[in-house]
Amino acid sequence: MITRSRQVALALTAVLTAGAACQAHDDEPPGRHAPPAARERDTGGFTLVASGDVLPHDSVIERARFDAGGAGHDFRPILAGIAPVVSRADLALCHMETVYGADGDYSGYPLFKSPPEIAAGLAATGYDGCSTASDHTLDDGADGVRRTLDALDRAGVRHAGSARTEQEARTVTVMRAGGARVAHLAYTYDTDGHPLPDGQPWAVNITDERRVVADAAAARKAGADVVVVSLHWGTEWQEAPDDRQLELARTLTAARTGGRPAIDLILGTHAHVPQAYEKVNGTWVVYGTGDQVAGEMADGEGAADPRGNQSTLGRFTFAPPARPGGRWEVTKAEFVPQLFDVDAGRVIDLNRALAGGAEVTAVRDRIRSVVLARGAAKDGLVMGE
């Protein structure tokens, strides 16, 4: 019997074949992955896109090996479907949930060690930076952190949330976008019981609201115009944000520094399913983007759940402040619905795949209803192309 999720996959395959940081590190040219027109807007506003968890299970690793012809791993085809959206942004952020292995020692769930070639795939897609704080950051201890950040550095992809040295942990990740300096901070609720490496309490950022606010204030002092915080949080398989998410969102968005909000955007990951977007205290919060890349997912009770391969990409357009020292304001907020086709091994922009028929449209519309469940439409959130 062909299940509903299998019908969607077949339709899409047819479409396819048709710590208080104290210093800033800012050596990235404006709009590295953006088209020339965007790079020229170096004194104006900018567009930021952010997508969900990159979680390569064994089947995804095997797909990347197949796409590389058996020699290494190539993740570019897996991500190619969303590249047109990502590459047009002035600043593009991903969430790299897993750490990297080496010399063929790669694995999926429960202890993830992903091929390091994924970093080059992210760069080729247009990503400028990734959050690296998650419950899987310590799946291979300090070595896994080191290999991951080394590979991202080689690919030219910036990172925030984990560190190889104490100095790196204290350094604010700042990237240029349009006329702004954008700080990216990242934290995780837990590390799945894996202890912090001996002598390295700074290896991964653990969420503490006072620390997040302090780090945001330090980023401002380091010269950041916009502060973006990535949070690995929430309850797995729950579409509604949980009480902790709601409480933390209220606290963080209410914090102020230098006469303006301490944080300008919150990006959530971890729940495996898309969650709502909401404007809280005047600041956009994405409670959960869902998994951008993952194998076939099973929920907490072991039942296959196609929602685990559905996600969104958030797109936010920022305008310069009306007066010196003012806040960079989000003038347009959008979300792009996505699906990871587990049979084809491809990320699909659902707005570009509507030729797939009613099943594809139904998935897109379900994602939209979840995203708008907390009234974001009244604050201007729209589904982007």
Specify the pLDDT at position 23. Answer: 52
Specify the pLDDT at position 320. Answer: 97
- Residue 356's pLDDT band (boundaries 50, 70, 90)? low
Cα–chain-centroid distance for residue 83? 14
The domains of the chain are located at: 4-383
Residue 173 confidence (pLDDT) above 60: yes
Q: In this predicted model, which residue has the larger pLDDT, 316 or 34?
A: 316
Residue 143 confidence (pLDDT) above 90: yes
Q: How far apart are CA 271 and CA 267, in angstroms?
A: 12
Specify the pLDDT at position 267. Answer: 99
Spell out the residues 6+ positions from residue 162 whose beta carbon is closer than 8 angstroms to its own: 132, 133, 137, 145, 148, 149, 203, 204, 205
pLDDT in tens, 295-310: 999 998 899 999 999 9
**How confident is the model over 270-274, as a mean pLDDT?**
98
Specify the pLDDT at position 43. Answer: 57
Contact 178, 31 (CB under 8 A): yes
pLDDT in tens, 58-110: 999 999 999 999 999 999 999 999 999 999 999 999 999 999 999 999 999 99
Q: How far apart are CA 142 and CA 100, in angstroms?
A: 11
Please provide the DSSP assignment of 168-202 as one string: HHTEEEEEEETTEEEEEEEEES--TTPPPPTT-TT
pLDDT mean across residues, the chain: 90
- Of the candidate CATH numbers 3.60.21.10, 3.30.930.10, 3.50.50.60, 3.90.1150.10, the domain formed by 4-383 belongs to 3.60.21.10
- Return the amino acid letter for 197: P
- Residue 44's pLDDT band (boundaries 50, 70, 90)? confident
Determine which of 227-241, 283-297, 343-357 has the lowest per-residue pLDDT on average. 343-357
Spell out the residues 6+ positions from residue 62 whose beta carbon is closer than 8 angstroms to its own: none
